[in-house]
Structures are given as structure tokens and as C-alpha cells.
Structure 1
Amino acid sequence: MKTLIKNANIITPYEIIMSSNLKIENGKILNIFDKEAFNEKSYDEVIDAEGKYLSPGFMDIHNHGNFGHDAMEGTKEALNTIANFHIKNGVTSFLATVMTEHPIKIRKAIENVRNYIEDRDNNANIRSQVLGIYLEGPYFSMEKKGAQPPEFIKSPDLVEIKEYVSLSNNNIKVVALAPELEGAEEVIEYLREKNITISAGHTNGTFEQIKKAIDLGVTQSTHLYNGMRAFSHREPGVLGAVLTDERVLCEMIADGIHVHPAAMNLAVKAKGKDNIILISDSMMATGLKDGKYSLGGQEVYVKNNAARLRDGTLAGSTLTLNRAVYNMVHLVNVDLKDAVRMASLNSAKAIRVDDKKGSIEVGKDADLIIFDDDLKIEKAIVGGRLRKLIPE
């Protein structure tokens, strides 16, 4: 199938090409051109971008759910709903987050995501693509547990993590853990051998402990500033380690609630455009009204877009990734092309799929979105095919 997208401002990793056109064939990006003559009749489908932006689809590698559902439900219906809501907000691919819970629930959620990915009938009618699993816990520091249920937090267990990886059929792409805990080193070494991204998360580690973990194979930090030891000029802690080490990519929740815009700006100055990953960390209330919801079996109260446990602890977010990109542009003054990179190419790099996804480059998968100046998603293309934006 051949598709033409015409009259678009195309966001590549290097520039925004104004008033240009893009060819898609068999689900891949074939060519980008501006002045070349073309015959629309030679295409199976022509999409007019009407002068709006054409961008790589966003990739949300850390999110729990949205629109009333959570990946921990362990059902196909939940993942369908989550995927439908994602595509409406420009996310063409994502990782389903499995969080700290009873091991039986963790296994059920992992198995469900594996089955969902392997279901050929489902993949034939792709919404937003599920690329794998983000395992957030249960190997965390009790001091920095955040909204992770404390009764299930434990030290890293090599036997258990091997079981989870096997159960997932190698679909676990990221494991977040506290590297300072007993047993963490052997788990990090195992995950590195399996080519699974290791993220320092919910950790009270010292600067030296985190630097050692980076040497062992940690390449990412989970929701920067949140769930980690605070910075001190005498003990820089987790922040000092991840912000100053170029081997580490840093996730960030750019909602203006989890992180102050000045702190976002500091992170961008420290890490540059290539090492910030925008995530939503969204929970089931995303896209719905204020009220009472749940996360990890705990009651969560949402008021004015902030999701908190009863004690006031932030419990995920109600952020969407298109809004995160908007916030980086308008709250932090990041160039649009760089903010888009933080929600697409950097995410793809983190889970090692940047050879085929995450940017508009010839030969890559045609996972694309069209949006206006306010980051309102007009159209989404997944695998070269135009996808319906499921209404609320």
C-alpha cells in the first residue's frame, strides 16, 4: 500500500521541514520531498496535513493506565481501552507498566500483556502498539516507595525476576529497581545480559552507590526527582549521579505538578535534548473527572489534575504525552523538535527500538501523527495505516 502525506511541516530529528510531503510504502517511510512533482492518483491513500505538523508518533514507556483502566487488571479489555486513549493523544506505541503488587497479580498482568502482544488478530487492528512491559517494582527502597504498596516491597530476587522474564516471553523491556538493595547487583548483571533496560527508581541510594550501579549496567532513572534521594552539595545522591553521567537517560513527568518548570529546565541543561525521556506515568483517572480511583490496590484521590494517596503522596499522574510536549515548549522554552524527540526518539533509544521507530527517517516504521500548534492530535498513522481516533 502506498500513502502520501502532503502539505506538512515535517519534524525530523534535525529540523522542521516546512510545507513538505512524505511517502509511505508497505508501512515504512519511503521518502521526504518538497518540490518534487507527484501524481496523487498513483497513491492508494492521500492525507492532507493542511499545513500542520507531521511528527513521529509519541512513545510512552512508563504509564499505568487511563480512561478508567489499569494494566494491572490483567485483561485484554483494559489494554484495548488504554491503547484507544493513547492513540487519541498521539501515542502510537507504549509499554504497559506492571507495578508493585502481590506476586500473583504481577504474574497475571505480565501474562496478559504477553498474550496481548502475541495475539495476531489484535495486532491486525492496531490502535496504539504495546511494545512490551515496564516492570516498576517490587524491588524498591521503603524510604522512597512513593505510591508503591509497602506490603509487597522487597529486595531484588534473582529467581523471581528470571521467572517474570520467562513468563513475559522476553517482553519485559525495562525493570525499575533500587540499586543499593541487597541482591541488586546480581539482578542488574542478569538483566544487562538479557538486554533489558535497568532504571534506578524509588531509590535512596547514595551518589557512590548509584555510580557503581551505572558502571554495572543501569542506563536510566525513573521519573527524575520523584522517588529518589534528594540532592545535597555534600551528598549529591541519585540526582547528582544521574544528572552528571552521560550514560543515563532520565524519565521526566512534565506536568508542572511532579516537577517545577525550573527543575525541568535544570534537567534539560544538565542532560541535553538527547537524554530526557518524557513519560506520562498516567493512572486510570487520566481523561476522566476528579474523584476517587485506585493504583496498586490503594485509594487515589484526584483533584485539579493531581492524583494523591490519602496521605498526600503523589500517585501517578493524569498527564497525556502530547500535553507533556506542549509543557516542555511553553513552560521550559524547549524547541518543538527537541520536545518531540524527548517523547519519541529518546524513548525508542531507551528500549533499543530506535533502529525502526521514534523518528521520521527513511526506512523506519511509519508511526506518525499530525497535530496543530496546541498539540491537538488531528490524525494518527500506525504501521503506515490511518487509525481512527476513538472519541471520549
Structure 2
Amino acid sequence: MRIEGRVVTPSGVIEQGYVEVEGPSVTAVGAGGNGGDTWIVPGFVDIHTHGGGGHTFTTGDPSAAREAAAFHLRHGTTTLLASLVSSPFELMRDATRAFAPLVNEGVLAGVHYEGPYLSQIRCGAQNPAFLRDPSVDELAELLPLGAVRMVTIAPERPGALEVIKLLVSHGVVAAIGHTDATYDETLAAVAAGATVGTHVFNGMRPPHHREPGPVFALLGAPDVVCELVADGVHLHDGTLAFAAMVTGPDRAALITDAMAAAGMADGEYELGGQTVVVSDRVARLTRDGSIAGSTLTMDAALRQAVQAGVSIVDAARMASTTPARALGLAEKVGSLTPGLRADLVVLDAGLHVQHVMRAGSWL
């Protein structure tokens, strides 16, 4: 099968190019196509999403998880993590067990625990009733379930560094987020093995020129991938462009942080046992007005990044290549490269989704 258009590769755009697909894999990429104004980009990799299309990952319901993954697939996300929110241990355990078959099947790339080992003062839309110190004992029971791919931790909490080292020793990505850590506390977590910054700027002590805090530490750490929510709500476009410039596309990952309301009408929703109201695409907790995830999809995140001044090549790396590498999946997905899985999205001239291919099959 041959797909023609303006092919976006990690090194540039092949203006009139093609992608050859055989079975589930890309076999060739080159010049000589005739796809007009259509763009061909790698399938998006979303390492942080709580749901979409009216369905959530946060309750541990595998049927809902399938529907949420299918919703995001229609918007070009061919690889994604199911992100839980801060919860009682029993829900974390049961959800991980329920999602393990979906991970084995390839519907999900794994489970992300966004909490409960987070800061009270920077909890954002996390339920403060469930926050607690990092627990080696809890993780000793959860990690053998096999589906856990990433855990977000506030490094200032007691036991955080020990837990980060434990996660890394098990091949699980340790992320830093929802934190009131100082600059030095953040760098200590990076030294312990943390490699991702969870929605940088959001849910963090704000930077100050005399105490730069976690934001500057994460943006400046050469081995840390910084998640950025490109919805025009979580980050001003100027902030998004600045962060992408500081990190470069190899250390910035576009994420949705989407909740069940993505793709749905305004109204009342639930997140982690708390009521959320969505109005004009912005989700906020009713209890204090905190931003509660997003209604974003990855194709919209790509458009927002390009609108903010990021090149289409860099935006595609931030939406696919870099997050795939952050999860250790760069040898399987994340770019239009011969030998990798044939995950791609055909976009029109305005960067809206026309067609989605996953593992060589059109959606």
C-alpha cells in the first residue's frame, strides 16, 4: 500500500512524498508522490489522558477504557496511556488488573498513575482526600501486575526518592508533577531517575527568579521530557512556544490530559469522585474552580502548537516521536521510519484528520 502527500519525518518534510506499508509495518519512505496539500504525520502518542468521548479510565472499567481509546484513535492517537487519578489503593489495584488485558492486546500502552503521591498544596483537580506519601509497599503489589508504565510523584514527599529508584529499577517511568518542590528537590528526583515532567507549569510551584522551583529545573534538565498541554487554556501560546524553544522538540511532549468530556457537550462530569463542570470546552472543579484536565484531542494539540509558532516537523516530533521515546517505545512507534509499526494520520491542509492508520489498517 502506498500513501502519498507531504510526509513529515523527524528530519524534515518530504514535500511530495510517499509512505509504503506492507502488513503492519512501514517499508519505505521517500520522494515522488503526488498527495497535493495533504499531510502525512506519524500516529500520535499520548502519554497522559484520563478519558474521552464520554468515557473515563479513572474508574477502572475496561469497557469504558476501550471506548475512550477508540475515541482518541479517531483523532489520530494510535498509542496512549490510561491515566488514573489519585485514588484509594484498592481502586488502583483493581483498575490495573482490569486494564492489563487491554495492555496485552495493544489497546493501551500501559497505565499511568497520576497520584496519589502528590502535593496537597499543588493538588489541582486531584482529590485531596486520597493524597498520601509514596509507598514502597503499595507499589510492591502494583508493579507485578505488569501494566504500570508511568507514575507521577511529588519529590518533596517523604520516601519519594526511594520510590523513584524502585520504579526505575522495574523499568517504569518516574514523572515529577503536582509538586511544591524546590529547584534542588526537583533535581534530586531527576538524579534518582525521574525522566518526565508532568504537565509542566500546571500543578507546580510557580517559578521565581530567586527560587526557580520545579519548572526551571525540569525545563533545564537534559534527560527530562516535559509534558505540555497545548489547548490554549493550560498554557498561553507564548508559554508553550517558550517552553518548546527551551527544551527543543526532543524534550517536549504534547499531551491532552483529557477527561471524559473531550468530544462531548458542555455540562457536568465526574473526575476522581469530584464534580466537574465543562463550559466553552474548559473543565473546572465545582468546589474551587481548578482546571480539571482538558477536553483536548491530540490533533487539536498539534494545531495549537503550530499556531503558537512551532514548525510542523517539531510539532509532529512533540506529538509522536518524543513521547514514544519517553515510554521506551521508539523502536516500535513514533515516526514514519521503515521497520516501525505503520501508524499514521492523514491531515488536510488545515491539519484536520482525514484518515487514521494503525498497524497498517485504516480505521
- Structure 1 residue 109 and structure 2 residue 95: aligned? yes
User: Is 1:8 the equivalent of 2:5?
Assistant: yes
Q: For 1:262 and 1:32, how far apart are their aligned partners in 2?
A: 34
- Residue 316 (structure 1) aligns with: 293
Quick check: which has more Rg, 1 or 2? 1
1:246 equivalenced with 2:222 (yes/no): yes
Q: Is the aligned partner of 1:26 residue 2:2?
A: no
Contact 2:37–2:349 under 8 Å retained in 1: no
Distance in 2, Cα, partners of 1:266 & 1:161: 36
Structure 2 residue 49 is the aligned partner of structure 1 residue 63: yes
Structure 1: state its 5+ residue gaps: 37-47, 124-128, 388-392
- CA offsets 1:40-69 (integer angstroms, 9 cap, x no match): xxxxxxxx9564111100011100001111
1:267-306 paired onto structure 2 within 5 Å: 267-306=243-282
TM-score by length of 2: 0.97
Q: Calculate the aligned-residue CA RMSD, in Å.
A: 1.4
Q: Counterpart in 2 of 1:384?
A: 360
> Is residue 16–residue 35 contact of structure 2 (8 Å, CA) maintained in 1?
no
Tell me, in whole angstroms, the C-alpha distance in 1 between the residues paired with 2:48 and 2:185. Answer: 24
CA distance in 2, matches of 1:14, 1:35: 17
Q: 1:312 Cα shift?
A: 0.6
* SS of the residue 1:301 aligns to: strand
Q: Quick one: distance in 2 between partners of 1:35 and 1:150?
A: 56
Within 2, Cα distance between the matches of 1:13 and 1:118? 28
CA drift of 1:35 comes to: 3.8
Shift of 1:373: 2.2
Deviations along 1:84-124, whole A, 9 cap, x unmatched? 211111111100012111222222211111022235xxx5x
Query: 2 CA distance for matches of 1:220 and 1:34?
Result: 35
Rounded to whole Å, the distance in 1 between the matches of 2:218 and 2:43 is: 27
After TM superposition, give the deviation of residue 375 of structure 1 in Å: 2.0
Which residue of structure 1 aligns with residue 305 of structure 2? 328
Structure 1 length normalisation: TM-score? Answer: 0.90
Report percent identity of matched pairs. 36
State how many pairs are aligned: 362
For residues 171-186 of structure 1, what are the structure 2 equivalents within 5 Å?
171-186=147-162
Q: Which runs of 5+ in 2 are unaligned?
A: none
Counterpart amino acid of 2:27?
A: L
Partner of 1:158: 136
Give 3-state SS (helix, strand or coil) of 1:85's partner.
Answer: helix
Which range moved further: 262-271 or 143-152?
262-271
The Cα of 1:22 is off from its aligned counterpart by: 1.7
Q: Does 1:79 align with 2:65?
A: yes
Matched, 1:222 2:208: no
Q: Is the 8 A contact 1:19 1:51 kept in 2?
A: no
Residue aligned with 1:344, SS: helix
Distance verdict in 2 for CA 1:35–1:270, change over 3 Å: closer
Task: Give CA deviations for 1:143-165 in whole Å, capped at 9, x if unaligned.
Answer: 11111111110000001012111
Secondary structure of 2:263's aligned partner: coil
The residue type paired with residue 61 of structure 1 is: I
Distance 1:77 1:268 in 2: 36
